[in-house]
Amino acid sequence: MHARRDGRRWGLRIATALAALVLTASGAGHAMVTSAENGVHRVDPFRGLRERPEAGAGLNILLIGTDSREGLTAEERDRYHVGDASCRCADAVLLLHVSEARDRATVVSLPRDSYAELPAHDFADSGERHPAHADKLNAALSHGGPPLMVSTVEGLTGLRVDHYVEVSFVSFMRAVDEVGGVRLCSARPLKDSYSGLDLPAGTSRLDGAEALAYVRARHLDGGSDFARMERQQRFLAAFLDEAVSSGVLLNPAKAGATARALLGSVRADPGFGAEEMLALAGVLRHFETAQARFTSVPVADTARHVPGLGSTVVWDREAAGRLFAALRVDGPLPEPPRPEGAGGTPGPAATARADEITC
């Protein structure tokens, strides 16, 4: 696998935020959720979209994490090692699929540097018309806002997006602190001076700043973006375990504070309201580990150079097609590509460090 060196970015905040949001909703009740919902900023991610995929079985929620520093003080920016510069960029792109029977969930990580064909669009800032062109997936948000991101993801996956949720890292950090931190285990020390990560071997309880450093760390594993995505998925599982086991859901005050921390920097489509939050909460609160699957889209090349774009991630069209076809009909997920050396194309999971373990 080629090493990939990315800028300041991290991937889990949106998945963590949504999962915690719907979990806290089930514990806090309808009145709290309705009140907290007022803090959500509404966007119309489906405006002007045409020739969309037909609806399939289940529910698809597009989860976007952005690098916005809005709401952070200078002291917080220094503490979290995030600097001052930011853009309307998609640091994390994940697709949450909930089965039609509401008994299974799958989170699929879509690499932000995925090669994509962006449909014709108006620039979000200037309104200038831009023809269809090749670009990286993360550019869709900064070029044309949520509608272009939805359209691009639908074109890549063939799945119809039912809801759109976007969260900045401010929500991520504060939500982790509200649940009292998240417990992780590592068989070796993990240190990355760029993100601020300094995790000893053994079991640690990470606060918001430490959790942010963990999921942002890019100077571990040779800079592999896929190993980082697997860490992010691992952290999501640990966060969900913490939310359930710590009693947050049984404490209305704590649940309400966590929901407010999350919702303060959330943007979502108008259809994703209190009723939808509560309904989804009723699904996720009963999930066991075997009922939730975290995976990454299969790729053929992790560092293909494209003139004008630089290094891009190219999907394995056949394997990715099987994955999304299975989600469309609520069928069992296909087996992931075999690890390198086993006669198959190396998949993202093959890059994960075996000595980093979730307790």
Token duo for residue 94: 């994940």
Task: For the chain, list the strands marked E by DSSP.
Answer: 41-42, 59-66, 90-98, 105-109, 115-118, 121-122, 129-130, 133-136, 163-168, 182-186, 190-192, 197-199, 202-206, 266-268, 292-296, 299-306, 310-315, 356-357
* pLDDT value, residue 337: 56
Going by their DSSP bridges, the two strands 105-109 and 115-118 should be labelled as unpaired
* pLDDT value, residue 342: 38
Q: How far apart are CA 267 and CA 66, in angstroms?
A: 11
* pLDDT value, residue 312: 92
* pLDDT value, residue 3: 33
* pLDDT value, residue 17: 53
pTM metric for this prediction: 0.77
Q: How far apart are CA 124 and CA 182, in angstroms?
A: 37
Report residue 260: phi and psi, to 5°.
Answer: -65, -35
Print pLDDT tens along the chain (359 aa).
333 333 333 344 445 555 555 555 555 566 666 666 677 889 999 999 988 999 999 999 999 988 666 666 777 677 666 665 555 678 789 999 988 988 888 889 899 899 999 998 888 777 788 888 999 999 999 899 999 999 999 999 999 999 999 887 777 778 888 888 999 888 889 888 877 888 899 999 999 888 888 887 777 766 556 677 777 767 777 776 777 666 666 666 776 677 677 666 788 999 988 777 766 766 666 555 566 777 889 999 988 999 999 999 999 999 999 999 999 999 888 876 554 443 334 444 333 343 445 44
* pLDDT value, residue 349: 39
* pLDDT value, residue 343: 39
Report residue 103: phi and psi, to 5°.
Answer: -120, 0
